[in-house]
Structure formats: C-alpha cells, structure tokens
Amino acid sequence: MENEINVQELGERIVRVLKTIFDPEIPVDIYELGLIYDVFVNENYDVKVLMTLTSPNCPVAETLPREVEEKVRSVEHVKAVEVELTFDPTWTKDLMSEEAKLELGML
C-alpha cells in the first residue's frame, strides 16, 4: 500500500513536528533544548514521548506536554500518543544541542 509508512520514517516526522514547539521562555525548540529524552514508535503507530521540563516548577508544566501530545497526534498515521513527563535525569544545559547553545550564545 502506498499509504504505508515505516516506523523510522514516522519517528522522523514526529521529530520534525517536535522541532516546531518552543519553550516560551527560551527561543529554542524543545527538541534542540534537550527536553525530549526519547520518542518510541511501535509497529501499530502508537507513539510514546518521554520528555522533561527545564524545572519541575516550569510555568508551562501543564501546557507544554499537552501541546506535544496534540502536535504529535496531528502527524499522519499516528494512532495513539502518550506523553510521559520525567525528571530523571534532571534536565541540565548539557542536554542542549550544539545548535541550541550557539543560538543562546553559550558557545
């Protein structure tokens, strides 16, 4: 079927969507910021996103995971989405990509 998509390609599409979500306090997307720890896609196109926040008291603690879930759910072929929030390991600036550090003048 031409509508079929492989799990890896779907995962790449999800990452592209995650790169459109920004932390409102930092002008860098949440993927480059290192807030996305893992994206799991199974053969049924069910998705689990393991993510964190810059701190447990983050002002977007309620809205950011919901935005992640809604945007991932909007990706064609995705059947179900679970967003799990974790603070283990705790987010640090070391988790940021080189691109994010450059953007924020940290390199």
Q: Where are the domains of the chain?
A: 7-94
Q: Residue 3: which pLDDT band, with cuts at 50, 70 and 90?
A: low
pLDDT > 70? residue 93: yes
Q: Please give the class, per CATH, of domain 7-94.
A: alpha beta
19-50: b (≥16 Cβ within 10 Å) or e: eebbbeebebbbbbbbbbeebebeeeeebebe
DSSP tag of 90: P
Report the distance separating Cα 5 and Cα 15, nearest Å. Answer: 15
> pTM for the whole thing?
0.91
pLDDT computed for residue 2 by the predictor: 46
Over the stretch 27-85, which tens digit does the pLDDT of each residue have? 899 999 999 999 999 999 999 999 999 988 888 888 999 999 999 999 999 999 999 99
